[in-house]
Each structure stands twice: as C-alpha cells, then as structure tokens.
Structure 1
Amino acid sequence: MEHIRENPAKETYEDEWISMNNINNAKRILDENTKVLYGIFGVISSSGYFPPLPFLNEFFLVGSDPCDQDGRMGCWRPFTLILSEYEVVKEWWFASHPGTVESRLGCECWGDWVQEILEM
C-alpha cells in the first residue's frame, strides 16, 4: 500500500526549516571557531583548504572543538549537513576566504585531514 502524506507542504516547510537551521548553525560554529584562541578553523581559514563534507560532518558530530582545550568556544548540539546544505556553507566560506579549495588532501578522515593542515 502506498504511503500518502497528510500534509506534504508542512513536511516540506519543516524540512526547509531544519535545513536552514543546520546551515545557520554551521556558519555560526565555523565563524566563532575562527575567532577563538586555538580554534582549528582559525588555522584552516589561512590554509587555503576547506574540508570535504564527510570530514566537516565528523567535526560537527563531536559537538566541540578538541583543539579548543581551554573550552573558550563552548559546545554545540551535534549535527550533520546534507550535500545541499554543505554546498551553501562551502560557498559562504569561499566568499570570505578567496582562493580556498575543497580537498581531501589525500586523507580518509577528519583527524588525518586536520593533521595535514597543521603540518603545512
């Protein structure tokens, strides 16, 4: 039996709200993290690189920045981005960091990617 949605417009609105919330959270976290002492995105912002979606999601899922050992930024509720949300966040990041490119840097995970950035 085919599932019929009671109110597809409502579901679409809720999906859009969740998506905008994820995008705004991601932008806020990245922006604040670039400004906090020892925030990893402060280093990333001057590297010329931006992490691919799976790596960025690993960061967001932790709920805090392990590099911010003094806890100056605080925590966030863990979440992930879907590809369309990631593209919006990446475009926003690129606009304020000209010349930045997305790259895996030959890595398989966030931790290795961050290590590559720190060793540059």
Structure 2
Amino acid sequence: MDRTFTRLREVIAAALLVFTSLTLALPVRAQSDDASQREIAALLSFVAHSPCTFIRNGTAYPATQAEGHLEDKLHYLQRKGKVHSAEDFIQLAATESSISGKPYLVRCDGKERPSADWLNEELTRLRNAGS
C-alpha cells in the first residue's frame, strides 16, 4: 500500500510539473504569435500599397489583387496549421504558385525579381526599424 501511494504521489508530482511548464510557456508562445501576426499584416500591407506589379503564373496583377491573393493563401495555410511566422508566410504563401510551382515575381521600376527576395528584404527592414 505504501508503494502504491508513493508511486501515485510521484505521478501526480510529475503531471503537475509538466502542466506548470506548459502553462508558463503559453504566454511566450502567444507573444511570439502576436509578433508574427503583426509582421505578416505589415507584409500584406506592404504588398497592397506597393507601386510594384505582382506576377503570378506569367500574368501581371496590381498590388491590391496580389495582396488579396496572398491573404487568401495565408488563411488557407493557417487553417491547415502551417504558418507560424513571417518566414513561413513568405516561404509557403508568397514564393511560388501552389498549382504550377512557378515562382512569384515582382516588377518594380521596370526590373523583375523573386517576390520572396523582395518580401524578405522588407521583413528585415521592419525588424531593424523595430529594434
């Protein structure tokens, strides 16, 4: 009987330790998620207000349409639990067509470049401005 009681106390203590650890980690994760969501929103706003043209599968789209498309992809990916950071957003939603696999491009001042490079530069600028 003593062994059973001792073992039960050990199991309860271990469960409390795990629960406490998880509970303490939640605010950090929530803060991280909030920061990531703000960065993603800032990137979407950057796209929407850009004078650049977004090229998807060989067709040029104005900034507002590009932003709408990326936002739709973001929501789909978030429902699947795949986007947790601004880097995830860029890599999974804003780099290439999910259907054709062709890279997304942006045309700014007559020059084309991969959208991933363009957005990663903006993310770096946002983070440097915030520090």
TM-score, normalising length from structure 2?
0.39
Q: Which has the larger radius of gyration?
A: 2
Greater share of residues in strand: 2
Between 1 and 2, higher relative CO (CA 8 Å, sep ≥ 6) is seen in 1
- TM (norm. structure 1) is 0.42
